[in-house]
Amino acid sequence: MKVARVHPANHPLTGSVLCARDKSLSHRAAILAALAQGTTKVSGFSFCEDCLSTLSCLRQFGVRIETYPDVGKVVVESGGWKELTEPEDVLYAGNSGTTARLLCGVASWIEGLTIITGDASLRRRPMRRVIEPLSLTGIQIGGRDNDRFLPVFIRGKYPLAPFEYHLPVASAQVKSALLLAALGANAPSCVREPFASRDHTENMLSYLGIRLEREPGRIVIHPFAKPLKAKDFSLPGDISSAAFLAAAALMVPDSRIYIQDVGLNPTRSGFLECVSRMGGQIKIHNLREEFGERRGDLEVAFSSLHGISIGKEIIPSLIDEVPILSVLATQAQGVTSISGAEELRVKECDRLRAIYLGLKTLGAKVEERNDGLVIEGPVKLRGGRVESFGDHRIAMSFAVAGLIAREAVEIVDVDCVKISYPEFFDHLQLLGCKRTEFYESEEEGEKNCL
């Protein structure tokens, strides 16, 4: 198991980096390209482990996919949604909840049997939230432990029954699974959500010509009316990945960095809103839009921060950034409270618990609550050894914490970073964080200290 030892930054972070490509958009671009007739070129594809899981599963539906990781491109050739076929083997989604849940929606109208499973972590994540609404379409669908977990089976058929469903919790993955299933119905379906979650699926479906009626909290989607024609996608960078670099620059004195080509979808920009409220200096340059998705460049500078209240209404737009916001809060003057974030307990790990344990180890003033955290700052974090619990966002958050601690911070199990941001440590080094060591065992770590 790989351990990273991150030493405190001894000089400002400076320079420019091209943001890691957007994982959420990459999943969706590949899936929608598989539904379209013809050849789709996806540039700016994220070659993280999660997105590679999606490509692997799509190939089992009969889709032809060529990858060009050196140039960040994927080429998808498909006969269209009518040509997708029953897989010959179990689909393996790895650690990717997006892969598992969205493909449940697609498999609903593919004739035959689809079985989806994942790694040990993914097999502990909730699936009933997808299984129950998809059963409204008239298909046979179920999972392990009374429909709670993977493996999940779907016995698909076409056409599906239309449905109306009100999501009890805002979830882009569940919403997207339902929208994808609704494409195979014989009449329009309606999905409602309590708060706005990321709307990438809606934007990309509209781009491909699917008819959607959208208003706050409600989406009516019309089924396939004719073959979808392939259209190319050029994907922006991932705001959730950029958040780690931005946080580092906000906390390391005298830093100023530029993060190029970041996705700035309003349903994903909660991190930027919270940083602005905390007094953080982030400027947006070169703002533009493609297939309904905003993108631009970020200029981030060291800032004096103050605590804020982060409530449930904004959590869906920053659900992946809560760990790094919690690290930022340790350096902010006053109290930062995070509430309405109970969804974090059913991510790759119990992220609220993982954040709390790690911050306590490093000497932060932090209180754990059922649905969030209360953090008081500023506190000069001490060095120490923390667990990532195999969660990529926990690992990266504590790597950033190491830059502003008194002594080195060791993060156990950093290979999980490859799940979403394989270039993370390379990008930190590019910006000036050159004091990071890696080792495979405690014995080697002790030797490196000498």
Which residues have a catalytic role annotated? 320
Tokens of 140: 């046979």
| Burial call 123-157: b when 16+ CB within 10 Å, e when fewer | bebbbebbbebbebbebebebeeebebbbbbbbbb
Report CA dihedral (268, 341, 328, 308) to the nearest 10 degrees. Answer: 90
70: which residues sit within 8 A by CB, 6+ positions away? none
Tokens of 220: 């009516």
Helices in 183-223 by DSSP H: which ranges?
200-207
173, amino acid identity:
Q
User: Do 237 and 22 touch, CB atoms closer than 8 A?
Assistant: yes
Q: Compute the distance between CA of residue 67 and CA of residue 45 in angstroms, rounded to an integer.
A: 9
Residue 72's CB is within 10 A of a number of other CB atoms, namely: 17
**If you write DSSP's letter for every residue of 234-247 in order, what string do you get?**
E--B-HHHHHHHHH
β-strand partners of 113? 155
Q: How many residues does the chain have?
A: 450
- Burial of 207-216, coded b for 16+ CB within 10 Å and e otherwise, reads bbebebeeee
